[in-house]
């Protein structure tokens, strides 16, 4: 799923990073320059080209050239380019990547450039900006927020005589509704419950008070009662038959089950709003905040613009990154309807207007309050094993307590090696 990038490992970055310099001392060029901007999703090109054109109007000496690398190859190519010092001047990363790339010297330190800037970014919550300052240094500028929510098919709810979800729903409400909405004879399930960390069990684990990665990145509570309760939300939905089985959502992605009208609910990120709306037809898609557990907390990812430490136009690349995070750039991206949520609250209405009648306004508050999804310097080492470890609990061949204990050992071993 391109809305959330796959993780990369330390080894994947290559030994060449040690030679990279992390500095913000490069100044803007007096003459015309062209900066390259790396990204991974073709559907974003029109919005980013419009932003690049507008930036050029305000900065006639700087031209932005977009450089697309398909998602499947993005990180492999980026890591090779970083090692050979041929990376784009600026490029996409998500919050789960920043620590790894910063640690390995791939990213320019933007602290001084931001301090000296007069661009007003007060519309970005501190909770969104803070994760990109590591060891007192700023390493990226967020441009996209990815708050998650509960999507639902209004037609299926009406047909089953079930009241539509609200922002106050709990996971118990979801399970109750899923039972009533499931109609096996018609091939309809109440919800899609794939074994997916970001949009499913991380969300419910957070909502019951688990942090997953603890002690400032040195430990985990994924085997805590709170995390176990969060995972059980999803294993119960599958075992009770309110969701397609793991095998079914493996063969046919959960998105397809929902888009084809075969499940009444699904939890997902904002990048799916446009496609879900188109698939279900005008007026048939609804969206509310992520259901609550014992606490009102959900998980969120963000996408950022990072600047190559070895780049020749660091200051100019930073100015474009800052433009994308500012009021004008955020409104351009939000109006496209495909660029996810704005990190800048001053562009909220532009995003609501781009996808009217769905309920985008219901997940906007999460941008300021959600907890960023768990990560470490080598997240993929443990994250890639979650599906294998947790699937037996979904299938009923292992207990939730057993699989979370096993997963805790995997994470702890990985974190120990990161040190």
Tens-place pLDDT, residues 268-284? 999 899 899 999 999 99
Q: Do domains 10-146+301-371 and 149-297+385-418 have the same CATH topology?
A: yes
Mean pLDDT of 388-410: 98
DSSP for residue 15: G
DSSP for residue 398: S
DSSP for residue 345: G
Distance in angstroms (rounded) separating the CA atoms of residues 329 and 343: 11
- SS3 assignment, position 366: helix
What was the pLDDT predicted at 339?
72
What was the pLDDT predicted at 29?
53
Give the CATH fold of the 10-146+301-371 domain: D-Maltodextrin-Binding Protein; domain 2 (3.40.190)
Could you tell me the residue ranges of all domains in the chain?
10-146+301-371, 149-297+385-418
Mean pLDDT of 213-239: 96
CB neighbours of 57 closer than 8 A, spacing ≥ 6? Answer: none
Closest CA to 156 of 198, 116, 191: 191
pLDDT bucket at 11, cuts 50 / 70 / 90:
very low
Residue matched to tokens 């508050």: 365
333-336, Cβ contacts within 8 angstroms, sequence gap of 24 or more? 333/47, 333/48, 333/51, 333/143, 333/144, 335/47, 336/44, 336/46, 336/47, 336/50
Residue 20 has pLDDT above 50, yes or no: no
Angle between helices 171-181 and 225-239 (to 10 degrees): 10
pLDDT bucket at 3, cuts 50 / 70 / 90:
very low
What was the pLDDT predicted at 35?
98
What was the pLDDT predicted at 186?
96
Residues of the chain with pLDDT > 90, as a percent, come to 81
Give the CATH fold of the 149-297+385-418 domain: D-Maltodextrin-Binding Protein; domain 2 (3.40.190)
- From 27-41, 212-226, 311-325, the region with the lowest mean pLDDT: 27-41
Q: What is the mean pLDDT of the chain?
A: 91
Residues of the chain with pLDDT > 70, as a percent, come to 93
Mean pLDDT of 20-47: 75
Burial of 134 (0-12, 13-18, 19+ CB in 10 A): middle
Closest CA to 93 of 309, 272, 299, 301: 301
Residue 10 has pLDDT above 60, yes or no: no
Mean pLDDT of 225-253: 98
Is the full-model pTM beyond 0.85? yes
CB neighbours of 67 closer than 8 A, spacing ≥ 6? Answer: 36, 37, 38, 39, 88
Distance in angstroms (rounded) separating the CA atoms of residues 306 and 318: 8
pLDDT bucket at 112, cuts 50 / 70 / 90:
very high
Distance in angstroms (rounded) separating the CA atoms of residues 368 and 128: 7
Q: Which is more confident, 121 or 10?
A: 121
Q: Are 170 and 332 in contact (CB under 8 A)?
A: no
Mean pLDDT of 320-338: 94
What was the pLDDT predicted at 30?
63
Strands 213-214 and 299-307, sheet pairing:
unpaired
CB-side neighbour CA atoms (13 Å) of 371: 21
pLDDT bucket at 31, cuts 50 / 70 / 90:
confident
Q: Are 370 and 147 in contact (CB under 8 A)?
A: yes
Mean pLDDT of 348-353: 93
Cα–Cα distances (Å) from 404 to 227, 231, 249, 324, 360, in that order, read 8, 9, 22, 40, 33
pLDDT bucket at 337, cuts 50 / 70 / 90:
confident
Closest CA to 205 of 196, 217, 218: 196
């Amino acid at each position: 799923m391109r809305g959330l990038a796959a993780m990369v490992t330390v080894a994947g970055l290559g030994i060449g990073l040690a030679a990279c310099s992390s500095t913000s001392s490069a100044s803007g060029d007096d003459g015309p320059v062209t900066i390259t901007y790396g990204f991974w999703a073709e559907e974003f090109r029109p919005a980013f080209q419009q932003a690049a054109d507008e930036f050029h109007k305000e900065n006639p000496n700087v031209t932005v050239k977009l450089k697309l690398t398909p998602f499947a190859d993005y990180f492999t190519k980026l890591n090779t380019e970083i090692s050979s010092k041929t990376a784009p001047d600026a490029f996409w990363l998500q919050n789960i990547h920043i620590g790894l790339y910063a640690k390995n010297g791939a990213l320019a330190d933007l602290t001084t450039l931001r301090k000296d800037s007069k661009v007003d970014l007060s519309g970005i919550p501190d909770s969104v900006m803070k994760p990109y300052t590591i060891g007192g240094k700023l390493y990226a500028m967020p441009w996209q927020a990815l708050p998650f929510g509960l999507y639902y098919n209004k037609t299926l709810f009406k047909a089953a005589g079930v009241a539509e979800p609200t922002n106050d729903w709990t996971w118990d409400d979801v399970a109750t509704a899923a039972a009533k909405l499931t109609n096996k004879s018609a091939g309809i399930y109440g919800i899609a419950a794939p074994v997916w960390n970001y949009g499913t069990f991380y969300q419910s684990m957070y909502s019951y008070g688990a942090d997953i990665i603890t002690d400032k990145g040195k430990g985990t509570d994924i085997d805590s009662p709170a995390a176990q309760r969060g995972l059980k939300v999803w294993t119960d939905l599958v075992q009770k038959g309110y969701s397609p089985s793991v095998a079914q959502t493996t063969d046919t992605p959960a998105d397809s089950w929902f888009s084809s009208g075969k499940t009444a609910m699904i939890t997902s990120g904002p990048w799916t709003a446009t496609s879900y709306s188109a698939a279900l037809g005008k007026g048939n898609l609804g969206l509310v905040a992520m259901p609550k557990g014992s606490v009102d907390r959900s998980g969120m990812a963000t996408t950022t613009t990072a600047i190559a430490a070895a780049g020749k136009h660091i200051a100019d690349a930073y100015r474009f990154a800052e433009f994308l995070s500012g009021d004008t750039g955020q409104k351009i991206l939000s109006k496209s309807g495909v660029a996810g949520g704005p990190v800048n609250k001053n562009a909220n209405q532009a995003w609501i207007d781009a996808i009217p009648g769905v309920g985008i306004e219901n997940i906007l508050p999460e941008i300021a309050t959600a907890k960023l999804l768990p990560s470490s310097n080598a997240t993929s080492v443990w994250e890639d094993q979650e599906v294998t470890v947790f699937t037996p609990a979904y299938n009923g061949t292992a207990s939730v307590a057993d699989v979370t204990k096993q997963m805790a050992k995997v994470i702890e071993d990985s974190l120990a090696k990161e040190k």
